[in-house]
Structure 1
Amino acid sequence: MKELEKRIHGFIKQELEIYRTHLMKRNIKNNNVEKDTWNLKQGVLNMTQYFLKKMNHEDLAEALQKELIGIQEHALKCKLSEKCCHVCEGIAQQGESTILNKIYTDLYITEGAAGQVNKDHEVRLIQKNNVKADAGELQQDVQIECKNMFEPLPEQERPIRTVLTQGVAGIGKSICVQKFILDWAEEKEYKNIQFIFPLPFRELNLKKGRQSLMDIICFFFPETEGLRLTDQHNVMFILDGLDECQLPLAFQKNNNMNNVSEAAPLDVVLTNLIKGNLLPSAQIWITTRPAAASKIPAECVERMTELRGFNDQQKEQYFRKRITDQVMANKLIDHIRESRSLHIMCHIPVFCWISATVLQKILEETESEETPKTLTEMYTCFLIFQAVQGNMKYTRKNAFDIPWDKEAIMALGKLSFQHLEESNLIFYIEDLEECGIDPSKILICSGLCTQETVRFLGTVFSFVHLSIQEFLAAVFAYLSLKNDNRNVFEPQSTSQESKTTELIDFLKTAVDKALESDHGHLDLFLRFLLGLSLESNEKLIRGLLTQTGSSSDCRKEIVEYIKIKFKENPSPERSINLIYCLNELNDDSLVKEIPEYMSSGILSEAKLSPAQWSALVFVLLTSKEKLDEFDLKKFIRSEECLNRLLPVVKEATSAL
């Protein structure tokens, strides 16, 4: 009993400190703060004295334990509310964070998703979902609101313990989790849950040694010190970022355990928690990128969901929330609609933020015809915006005066390129130091990178989105060749240092490398690299170049080289990416031919070249018209036609 009294007094002291900090951080000037904290303390003390007088030993212990849990729950909610109420885009400087509830836009979540490894590049997955959305196919899917993630559907009898939510990088998984936690902490939703413990894998990676589940909880959430969780508590664990997990998660090999206080390797603790051996009544929410979804055995998951980002209506809602000037918001939305490539990418919330950051600034200062229309233009302008932020206003007329930090950009680019093949978005201090990046100066990369200091464990770094990493990798590769005559695709040696590599040969090598990939990890990198070779984009980064020159002849040659590659019959995904590459090179000759064929009605007789077939598939898949029913009879009757158009058949709601 004395031990319980001691613990409760310790929690009162801790609760008061959290309460004061909570009010001070919110800048609440309240003369009643001292009075309120005194009342809180006095109320608990009075309750304790009442229990001591009126109850026997067992009743007192139980009552004190309930009182402790109430205090711990409140303390945890205060901490998580403070942590989750703001959202930081990039590395937030003081005063730059945004209130989450002001800009949060609901995301499109559906039940059901493939649990196997998905080898498609994530931008390709976005493009597929965009086609389904335009075709009305998503309307047939079961849509789930975030707040109902653990609610069984009418036909589902079993309660849902474990939910696995997958979605590509930047699609909004972590923000969705943050909003879920905030609604609980502010007691707007999920009032039946006593404790929510968010445990991101990027933080768990740094936890070493043997520990029990309670040790892990108390380490990350000191407010729970002394808590003894049992199956009677309503608890939720949120394991965010399975794709970032560096543990083996050996579900089959790890020993079973059911004691929350038993110490074991972290991998054993996590697999037993997910399997339900530890706290079987606890709810588990796991988020991941598609490629890592198969790390969790299917039998351990009651519900698979897929987060598909913004549909067209939600895109507009986001821009109107983020940009208070509605005239400006309308101009931005109209510009996005004009570019199919940009419009498709805006299914990714992070890309919406990038677009808003770039376009709002440019539309204020330039004519609409000068605004970015390709991905390379958008990301180059975004890089410029980050370079000049806080120093000067950017217009294309003063590109010579941009205050580039060449050393920092090249170091970031090196980091990006070296980790691109594994699509690794998470970096630690040793990774940065290996590439010559001073972790203490990472703030210069605000908007490109994020950093998160994990309690007592160190600092974790990441790019805001995989596409930013791919763009920086392309910048690094392009500048390495132009400035230092270094071909990043070739191993460096003394004999090769004096070897001259022409730009056109380098670009051809990049095309070949991208086509060799079975999962397209270089697809977006290639689009950026080719886009940077255009004179118009090269002018934007001229401050990073030691020498410049006309690349018009190079452009013509690489366009012809890409068109030849269609004859090698690459996969439909690679072919479509080649069309996007031509778009980055401002060549739409292939795509323009197709509407003429379609309007003339001769597609049922025309024998198309491989490049024309790819262009036809591209036009059909990216058309704004719905693919409710695809009629193959409109095309020439041949085995080649069927094979070439299979990607369209697969994406259509129905096909004749």
Structure 2
Amino acid sequence: MGNQSSRISDLLLQALDNLSQEDLKRFKDKLSHSDFEGKGTIPRGRLENADRIDTKNLLMEFYSGDAALDATIEIFTQINLRDSAAKLREEREKGYKKKYKEDIKKKYKLIKDMNSRFGDNMILNRRYTNLTIVDRPQVMTERASSAITLANLYKPDKDGQTPQVVVLLGAAGIGKTMTARKIMYDWAAGELYKKKFDYVFYINCREMNLLNEKESVADMIFKSWLNTNAPVNHILVNPEKLLFIIDGFDELRFSFDQPKDNLCTDPWEKKPMEILLSSLFRRTVVPESYLMITTRPATLEKLEQCLECSRYAEILGFSEAEREEYFHKFFGNENQARQALRFVKANEILFTMCFVPFVCWIIYTVLKQQLEKGENLTQTSKTVTGVYMLYLSSLVKPLSNNTKQHLYGNLRGLCSLAADGIWKQKILFEEEEIKKFGLDQENSLPLFLNENIFQKEIDFECLYSFIHLSFQEFFAALLYVLEEDETTDSGIPKKDVKRLLENYGNSKNYLMLTVRFLFGLLNEERMKDLKEKFGCKLSPKIKADLLKWVQANQQTDLTLPCVHEGIYQSYQLDLFHCVYEMYEEDFAINALDHFTVLKLNQNKFTQMDQRALSFCVKHCRSLESLCIYDCTFSLEDHEEELPRRQKKHRQDKPKHSPIYLLCQALNSHFPLCLPVSCRFSDCHLTAACCEDLSSILGTKQTLVELRLAGNSLGESGVKLLCEGLKHANCKLQKLR
């Protein structure tokens, strides 16, 4: 506050120094008759012989702080010194902005390093690595998406329209929150949106869930202002220069189905948080302001109910080059970085999974621990569940039976806490809940919980959260794998796999990753690790329940509903992801035995989508027809998404075409007797894909029909197909 008071004092003196002697006399005369904000008048006798410094001191004494500036601007206006009033107003605004930016820059400069000791932080820019972000148009065209930078998110689109609301989509762990924090820092540092926004405010949805009191938009701004009182009145004068970043919409527990009469229009009006956020989304309060909302794709339907969006952008994660850059930033030690990078790149599946920054962090953490211990880099994994298990195992040393029993008790409590939170859609936990699940004993608070300090009114409240929401989902899934405990306390969530799967079927959003992890944890190798390393008692009968569920929920036509214009999210494809997470051939064959026809329309397949799809196609023993229409297949390193300037150093021919994985699956497709028909229509295939298609023609004797309408194969592509047709094993009857 001292610095702020000094700043105001300097501004007042500067403004008075610029007055002529006659104008100063008029100013003091008017001031002696003005009762500003009902605080009374400054006695005429004290003003009569006051010089500029004395006058400034009297203003500070009577009105203090911002009120002294307001009074001075008002008097300037009344005595027709409008230029002086405008200049003082402008200088004050500069001071506010400068102070706010300094505080924001300081706040977001550092990030918590989850591998460091408590209280240790690291500089954001030393760890942050750029992510591949693509603009998602409203209509799927030949160029279904194009790369976009953070700087261009609020620039006019091809129709000349400037988006006012941007939704930043991304899967779990893809880097949405880190991107939001980077935007805050870069804006404060003058490197982003410098002329576009005067103020940028960060709203954490986790914290919003905790607020029981009514609040206003003005309150949100007050809380964003660090150390000093926010000049909210002045900030709201130009709402078109404000950006609100609402981070983690998918974590909100509110219902946004609010009647229009409930919404607020006044930024000073206090409302419950769900109504206040609904008012921001539906543009009834500060409608001229700009919004950025981060969310997982699964909650788009919920968001669509209360929001008319101008632009969707999707974070695809790290490109191949960005993964390598992150490696070097993470390790610091060049020799270790090169050694670990060689190992990961040699494991194609592991390197693919590194496109998700949080999974990348887990893999690198495990590798760094192994290198520092002088161990061989032998552990690998093919699924996300396997990577999380790898990280969990890396934190636990070989244990005696007694220690295992203690660890198992803690692990069970941790899983119960996680599951209780998932069902209640709760991410932050109070100390009472930590005690309820037996996690309050000395040295028993797990490494997977962070202690968060949030300011609630004037008190501080100690709350806990998992180091990432995906870890909460992982441990919630683990609870269903553990054997029932006869001594289970009534406070422990009741396990009911059927209820979990039914709810997942009815509301495929917040339970999606939990169900995938459940499949992954029932892999034989992972169950063996859980028994041997953690002393877990497991319930193997759940695998039979999952098999029945997959068989009962098979739909051969995976035509996707349009969640929002141009945003397609395959919920049916999640079924394939679940089977892939299990990663067991016998289970996959039994689960997918009834698939005869598979249709996929309007999908945007990520690399992991393709791995899941290819794994399942390979094990569909009864598959007779595969129809893929209006789909896109992303390359390994998002090469087709990168701006031209990022491609100039990448002249090498891609190792594989976009449909390589699917063609490999068809080549090794189990039955050799059933005739198979394949259709890739309007899938943006090029000549590069024809080499892989040609290999199928030469080796897959049961392929009798191939349709490729609506693709730009070119002359070279046709020649490659002709080479396949000449092969002695080719039995193709129709090519269209």
Q: What's the TM-score, normalizing by structure 1?
A: 0.68
Equivalences for residues 254-653 of structure 1 within 5 A: 254-255=261-262, 257-294=264-301, 295-297=303-305, 300-364=308-372, 365-370=374-379, 375-386=384-395, 405-420=407-422, 424=425, 426-429=427-430, 432-433=433-434, 435-436=436-437, 444-449=445-450, 451-456=452-457, 458-459=461-462, 461-481=464-484, 519=508, 520-531=512-523, 534=526, 536-538=528-530, 541-542=533-534, 544-545=535-536, 569=554, 573=573, 576-577=576-577, 579-583=579-583, 610-611=620-621, 613=623, 625-627=656-658, 641=676, 653=685
Structure with more of its chain in helix, by fraction: 1
Give the Cα separation in 2 of the matches to 1:431 and 1:52: 63
Equivalences for residues 33-52 of structure 1 within 5 A: 43-50=10-17
Q: CA deviation at 1:536?
A: 4.9
Going from structure 1 to structure 2, the CA distance change for 1:356 and 1:15 (only over 3 Å counts) comes to farther
AA at the equivalent of 1:626: S
Structure with more of its chain in strand, by fraction: 2
**Percent pairwise identity:** 21
Stretches of 4+ moved more than 6 A in 1? 396-404, 439-443, 485-488, 490-493, 509-518, 557-561, 563-568, 584-590, 620-624, 629-640, 648-652
Deviations 1:86-144, CA, capped at 9 Å, x for gaps = 111449644532211011111111112789xxxxxxxxxxxxxxxx9xxxx99852211
Query: SS where residue 166 of structure 2 aligns?
Result: strand
2:238 equivalent to 1:232? yes
Equivalences for residues 92-103 of structure 1 within 5 A: 93-94=117-118, 96-103=120-127
Q: CA deviation at 1:266?
A: 3.8
Contact 2:248 2:295 in 1 (8 A): yes
AA at the equivalent of 2:387: M
Q: Give the corresponding residue for 2:206.
A: 202
Deviations 1:211-265, CA, capped at 9 Å, x for gaps = 4322331134253434313353522111111112233334553456543334444
Give the Cα separation in 1 of the matches to 2:352 and 2:11: 56
Contact 1:167 1:306 in 2 (8 A): yes
Give the Cα separation in 2 of the matches to 1:104 and 1:361: 21
Deviations 1:570-615, CA, capped at 9 Å, x for gaps = 666366346524536999999xxxxxxxxxxxxxxxx99734759x
Give the Cα separation in 1 of the matches to 2:487 and 2:118: 41
Give the Cα separation in 2 of the matches to 1:447 and 1:175: 19
Out of 217, 223, 229, the position equivalent to 1:219 is 223
Q: Give the corresponding residue for 2:194.
A: 191
Contact 2:521 2:582 in 1 (8 A): no
2:12 equivalent to 1:15? no
Contact 1:358 1:378 in 2 (8 A): no
Contact 1:113 1:306 in 2 (8 A): no
AA at the equivalent of 1:163: V
Give the Cα separation in 1 of the matches to 2:506 and 2:343: 33
Structure 1's unaligned 5+ residue stretches are 1-10, 17-37, 116-131, 388-393, 494-505, 591-606
Give the Cα separation in 2 of the matches to 1:384 and 1:312: 27
Going from structure 1 to structure 2, the CA distance change for 1:558 and 1:625 (only over 3 Å counts) comes to farther
Root-mean-square deviation over aligned CA pairs: 5.1
Give the Cα separation in 2 of the matches to 1:324 and 1:157: 44
Structure 2's unaligned 5+ residue stretches are 28-74, 557-571, 591-616, 628-632, 637-654, 687-706, 709-736
Q: Give the corresponding residue for 2:181.
A: 178
Q: How many pairs were matched up?
A: 553
Q: Which has the higher contact order (CA 8 A, sep 6+)?
A: 1
Contact 1:425 1:463 in 2 (8 A): no
Going from structure 1 to structure 2, the CA distance change for 1:578 and 1:430 (only over 3 Å counts) comes to same
Q: CA deviation at 1:351?
A: 1.0
Q: CA deviation at 1:567?
A: 10
Q: Give the corresponding residue for 1:124.
A: none
AA at the equivalent of 1:345: M
Going from structure 1 to structure 2, the CA distance change for 1:610 and 1:270 (only over 3 Å counts) comes to closer
AA at the equivalent of 1:367: N
Out of 238, 247, 265, the position equivalent to 2:254 is 247
Deviations 1:48-101, CA, capped at 9 Å, x for gaps = 432676575214554444333322222221221122111114496445322110
Contact 1:167 1:308 in 2 (8 A): yes
Contact 1:165 1:285 in 2 (8 A): yes
Q: CA deviation at 1:409?
A: 2.4
Q: CA deviation at 1:384?
A: 3.9
Deviations 1:352-384, CA, capped at 9 Å, x for gaps = 111111111124432233455654553234224
Give the Cα separation in 2 of the matches to 1:251 and 1:567: 37
Query: SS where residue 191 of structure 2 aligns?
Result: coil
Going from structure 1 to structure 2, the CA distance change for 1:539 and 1:419 (only over 3 Å counts) comes to same
Q: Give the corresponding residue for 1:109.
A: 133
Going from structure 1 to structure 2, the CA distance change for 1:340 and 1:640 (only over 3 Å counts) comes to farther
AA at the equivalent of 2:330: R
Query: SS where residue 259 of structure 1 aligns?
Result: coil
Going from structure 1 to structure 2, the CA distance change for 1:251 and 1:417 (only over 3 Å counts) comes to closer
Q: CA deviation at 1:317?
A: 1.7
Going from structure 1 to structure 2, the CA distance change for 1:358 and 1:570 (only over 3 Å counts) comes to farther
Give the Cα separation in 1 of the matches to 2:463 and 2:620: 46
- The answer to which of 370-379 and 217-226 deviates more is 370-379
Give the Cα separation in 1 of the matches to 2:126 and 2:337: 16
Q: CA deviation at 1:323?
A: 1.1
Going from structure 1 to structure 2, the CA distance change for 1:43 and 1:356 (only over 3 Å counts) comes to same
Q: What's the TM-score, normalizing by structure 2?
A: 0.62
Query: SS where residue 418 of structure 2 aligns?
Result: helix
Query: SS where residue 468 of structure 1 aligns?
Result: helix
Query: SS where residue 300 of structure 1 aligns?
Result: coil
